Amino acid sequence: MSANRLPVLFLAHGAPPLLDDKQWLTELTAWGAALPRPRAILMLSAHWEESPLRIGATQPVPLVYDFYGFPKRFYDVKYPSPGAPALAARVRDLLDAAAVAHVDDPTRGLDHGVFIPMTAMWPNADVPVLQISLPALDPARLLRLGEILAPLRHEGVLIVGSGFLTHNLRLGLAPTANWAREFDAWVGEAIGRRDLDALANFQTRGPGAKLAHPTWEHYAPLLIAMGASQDGTGAVKFPIEGWWMGSSMTKRSVELG
């Protein structure tokens, strides 16, 4: 990877109980510490799907506690990262140049797909963060959005897609099933060889895809990350692997050089 180009990340963001998982927190903290320090971070989370594309708050506003039924301590979590108005302006320029419709949403704070992993990866909350929405669940548009945002990699901005490579909460704590392991292995191999066609058509080509993603908003940020890194010649790394809640979610996370 060029010394002047940051990687692109796709991370498994966890639910609030991640904050009680010491191993996972340790892995995320170590990953964040090993990365070049970014000037700013652009986050695209599975938990904000809205069209036209929304550009979130550029100044600190309250977090979005978009989860229910958890102990009070999880709603007391704070992540007072600086706003990123300069990054927002640059994102607007890139979107305008590509004729991508967008609007500002200045009161929309960071959701748990952003602040849960951020508390471990950048615990000092001293890097400006901007979140934008997923504009559509359309593979071609998501890959294209990543491609549009890719110049930010050369400008000190870390692009991060936040979701899960398998996500089926309907199965609860069931032991990790064969279909989950097969999809996890398949998607990892497709990412490793940067097979954009296979990844875009995961619903028909991935084994067990319908079980891995009954709905696929948690997979969508991967396509943005792949689009933003498709010119990459650097290594593809999987800094975190394993399972959480049985078959429900794979911890597999990706760093794309």
Q: Has residue 173 got a pLDDT over 80? A: no
Task: Summarize pLDDT for 14-34 with one digit per residue, the tens.
Answer: 788 888 889 989 999 999 999
CATH topology of domain 8-256: Protocatechuate 4,5-dioxygenase; Chain B (3.40.830)
What's the pLDDT at 172?
54
| Burial (Cβ within 10 Å: 0-12, 13-18, ≥19) of residue 153 | buried
Q: Please, which residues have CB within 8 angstroms of residue 215's CB and are 6 or more apart in sequence?
A: none
Centroid of chain to Cα 45:
5
Going by pLDDT thresholds of 50, 70 and 90, the confidence category of residue 175 is low
Q: Please, which residues have CB within 8 angstroms of residue 173's CB and are 6 or more apart in sequence?
A: 245, 246, 248
Task: Summarize pLDDT for 106-140 with one digit per residue, the tens.
Answer: 999 999 999 999 999 999 999 999 999 999 999 99
Q: Report if pTM > 0.85.
A: yes
